[in-house]
Amino acid sequence: MYDFLTTYSTQLGKTIAIIVILVLLQFILKQAAHKVGKRTEINITRTRLMFKYINILILLIAFFLFSFAWGMDLGDLSLIFSSTFAVIGVALFAIWSILSNITSGIIMFFSFPYRIGDKIKIHDKDMPIEAVIEDIRAFHLHLRTDDGELTTYPNNLILQKAVTLVQKDVYLDEGKDSL
C-alpha cells in the first residue's frame, strides 16, 4: 500500500483535486439551475431534469480530466474520443429528432414564457391546437384540449411555431370557481 501511495502520489493528488473541483462545479451549476427554476417558477420536475443533465456533463468532464491525471497522452485520448464520436455521430444522426427535442427542452427550461396550467394556442396551419399545458417533459409537452383529449407536442416544434397565451394558469382559475 505504501509503495502504491509513493509511486502514484502525483496522480492521487491530481485525482483528489479534480474530485473537489468537480463537486464544487456540480454544486454551483445545480444551485444556479435551482435559482433559475425558483425565480421563474418552473416546476420542480423540470429542475430535476436539469440536474440529470448537469450530472452527465460532470461525468464527461471527470472522465476527460482523470484520463489526463493518470497519464493518458493526448494522442491516445483523441483516438478514443474520435472513435467514440464517430460511432455516436452515426447513432445521433439516426436519432437527431430525439436530440433536437432534448435540446429544445433545455432551452425551454431557461426561456419558455408559458407555464404548466397556462392555456395556449399553437398557430400551426396543418393542425392548430388550443389546449392547457399539463406537463413539460424532456421530449414533449402534454396538452389537454377542452374536449379532454391529451395531445403530446414535440418540444422542437413548440419553439418553431407561433404560440399565443389564451389564459394564464387555468388550474388556478378553476380552483377559484369551486370555492
Q: pLDDT (tens digit, 9 = 90+) per residue, 55-96?
A: 998 998 898 888 888 888 778 777 877 888 788 777 767 677
Q: Quick one: pLDDT band at residue 10, thresholds 50, 70, 90?
A: confident
Top CATH class of 113-177 equals mainly beta
Give dist(CA 136, CA 142) in Å, integer.
Answer: 6
Q: 70: which DSSP letter?
A: T
- The pLDDT value given to residue 58: 93
* Secondary structure (DSSP) of 50-75: HHHHHHHHHHHHHHHHHHHHTT--HH
Q: Which of 72, 70, 77 is closest to 11 using CA atoms?
A: 70
Distance of CA 114 to the CA centre of its chain: 17
How many C-beta atoms surround the C-beta of residue 166 within 10 A? Answer: 13
Q: What one-letter code names the amino acid at 144?
A: R
Q: 131: helix, coil or strand?
A: strand
Q: Quick one: pLDDT band at residue 172, thresholds 50, 70, 90?
A: low
In the predicted model, what is the mean pLDDT of residues 121-144? 90
pTM value is 0.53
